């Protein structure tokens, strides 16, 4: 929403009792299977006194899609030998739910070393061991596109700068693929060959109003998350995601005191969600659910988690 008077709870939905509802944090940990590719998550708003109290940089969403292992599909098997003279049309048909496997085995860059003194951090989604975080594949470039509608002045540069920062602290490599008119929704397909060709759909970043994205209700200024895909018993890996930023509140934030730094911090927080960080209760960290002027960049705990998220497995078969 905006840096409103903390005493003014009118922007938050009131429960029947008139109190601010206790929202449930579902960081999608342990989400393993369809049907819904996305599980919504809204961070609990913590009301604190101060100018920025209630300005939530909240809402991580994550999802999972389980693909069928190629060895279990007829298309992976050799078709009967074509008769001599027939066209060589016996290539197994490719699956239609994923791009050509990357085949990439070498990380594009070394993950940064975590700070010597760690700190509080958490992850949105874990592998089956319950400990290893799900991450993007460090062997492939993460493509992103912008939906330009309603971008506030300076908003695009804000996003590009924040992407550079998240790349720096994860070792993951991002590239900007340009603009899209694809609707910004967490229901989007992770593979859209008609729009993006033979690759996983790029990360989609855009600006929305609360009316367009109900997750931005009240003081929530951003929502972000990624979809994890697994193949057979292989590891889950994020292949695409979305970042929704509040087109109404950002101009107000940017126009406020320390606006540029605070706005950048909010975008960084959302990109933290995108690559797999969850909220923490430690208000020294950027992944605390509220924006604060005192913390506008990643702290030690955030950086520790981000380094781990840059060191995920390469999954060449996807
Ligand atoms: Zn958040």
Condensed to tens digits (0 to 9), the pLDDT of residues 228-240 reads 999 988 999 999 9
Question: Predicted confidence band at 24 (pLDDT cuts at 50, 70, 90)?
Answer: very low
Q: What's the pLDDT at 90?
A: 58
The pTM assigned to this predicted structure is 0.77
Cα(313)–Cα(317) distance, rounded to whole angstroms? 12
Question: Predicted confidence band at 63 (pLDDT cuts at 50, 70, 90)?
Answer: low
> Is residue 26 over pLDDT 60?
no
**What's the CA-to-centroid distance between 271 and ligand 1, angstroms?**
9
Residue 315: closest CA among 101, 27, 4: 101
Interval 70-99 mean pLDDT: 55
- 195 alpha-carbon distance from chain centroid: 20
Interval 265-284 mean pLDDT: 97
Ion ligand 1 nearby residues (CB, 5 A):
57-58
Residue 147: closest CA among 167, 176, 190: 176
Cα(98)–Cα(94) distance, rounded to whole angstroms? 9
> Is residue 244 over pLDDT 60?
yes
Q: Which residue has the higher pLDDT, 25 or 312?
A: 312
- Strand 203-208, strand 237-246: pairing: parallel
> Is residue 79 over pLDDT 50?
no
**What's the CA-to-centroid distance between 47 and ligand 1, angstroms?**
15
Considering only 8-12, 47-51, 245-249, which range has the smallest mean pLDDT? Answer: 47-51
C-alpha distances in Å from residue 271, one per residue of 166, 169, 213, 238, 302: 7, 11, 18, 13, 12
Q: What digits encode the pLDDT tens for the residues 138-194?
A: 999 999 999 999 999 999 999 999 999 999 999 999 999 999 999 999 889 999 999
In the predicted model, what is the mean pLDDT of the chain? 78
**What's the CA-to-centroid distance between 223 and ligand 1, angstroms?**
7
**What's the CA-to-centroid distance between 293 and ligand 1, angstroms?**
16
**Which CATH superfamily groups domain 12-309?**
Collagenase (Catalytic Domain) (3.40.390.10)
> Is residue 55 over pLDDT 80?
no
Q: Which residue has the higher pLDDT, 238 or 35?
A: 238
**What's the CA-to-centroid distance between 117 and ligand 1, angstroms?**
23
Q: What digits encode the pLDDT tens for the residues 93-122?
A: 778 889 999 888 899 988 788 888 889 999
> Is residue 276 over pLDDT 70?
yes
Q: Which residue has the higher pLDDT, 28 or 301?
A: 301
> Is residue 255 over pLDDT 50?
yes
Query: pLDDT above 70 covers what percent of the chain?
Result: 71
Q: What's the pLDDT at 8?
A: 32
> Is residue 40 over pLDDT 70?
no
For residue 306, count other CB atoms closer than 10 A to its CB.
30
**What's the CA-to-centroid distance between 81 and ligand 1, angstroms?**
55
**What's the CA-to-centroid distance between 28 and ligand 1, angstroms?**
13
**What's the CA-to-centroid distance between 120 and ligand 1, angstroms?**
15
**What's the CA-to-centroid distance between 225 and ligand 1, angstroms?**
10
Q: What's the pLDDT at 50?
A: 26
Interval 188-202 mean pLDDT: 96
- DSSP 8-state code for residue 149: T
**What's the CA-to-centroid distance between 190 and ligand 1, angstroms?**
22
**What's the CA-to-centroid distance between 104 and ligand 1, angstroms?**
31
**What's the CA-to-centroid distance between 266 and ligand 1, angstroms?**
8
**What's the CA-to-centroid distance between 93 and ligand 1, angstroms?**
41
**What's the CA-to-centroid distance between 98 and ligand 1, angstroms?**
29
**What's the CA-to-centroid distance between 91 and ligand 1, angstroms?**
46
Q: What's the pLDDT at 245?
A: 97
């Amino acid at each position: 929403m905006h840096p409103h008077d903390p005493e003014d709870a009118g922007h938050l939905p009131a429960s029947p009792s008139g109190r601010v509802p206790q929202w449930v944090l579902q960081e999608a940990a342990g989400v393993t299977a369809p049907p819904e590719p996305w599980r919504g998550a809204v961070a609990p708003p913590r009301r604190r006194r101060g100018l920025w109290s209630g300005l939530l940089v909240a809402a991580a969403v994550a999802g999972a899609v389980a693909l069928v292992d190629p060895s279990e599909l007829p298309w992976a098997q050799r078709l009967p030998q074509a008769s001599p003279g027939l066209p060589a049309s016996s290539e197994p048909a490719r699956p239609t739910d994923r791009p050509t496997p990357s085949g990439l085995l070498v990380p594009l860059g070394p993950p940064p070393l975590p700070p010597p003194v760690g700190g509080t951090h958490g992850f949105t989604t874990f592998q089956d061991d319950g400990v290893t975080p799900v991450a993007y594949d460090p062997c492939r470039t993460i493509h992103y596109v912008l939906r330009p509608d309603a971008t506030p002045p300076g908003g695009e540069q804000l996003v590009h700068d924040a992407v550079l920062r998240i790349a720096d602290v994860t070792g993951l490599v991002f590239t900007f693929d340009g603009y899209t008119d694809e609707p910004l929704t967490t229901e989007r397909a992770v593979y859209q060959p008609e729009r993006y060709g033979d690759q996983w759909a790029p990360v989609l970043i855009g600006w929305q109003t609360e009316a367009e994205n109900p997750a931005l209700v009240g003081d929530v200024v951003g929502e972000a998350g990624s979809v994890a895909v697994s193949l057979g018993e292989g590891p889950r890996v994020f292949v695409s995601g979305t970042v929704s930023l509040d087109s109404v509140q950002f101009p107000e934030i940017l126009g406020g005191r320390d606006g540029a730094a605070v706005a950048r911090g909010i975008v960084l927080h959302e990109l933290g969600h995108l690559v797999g960080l969850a909220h923490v209760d430690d208000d020294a960290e950027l992944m605390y659910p509220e924006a604060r002027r005192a913390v506008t960049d990643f702290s030690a705990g955030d950086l520790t988690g981000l380094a781990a998220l840059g060191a995920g497995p390469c999954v060449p078969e996807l």
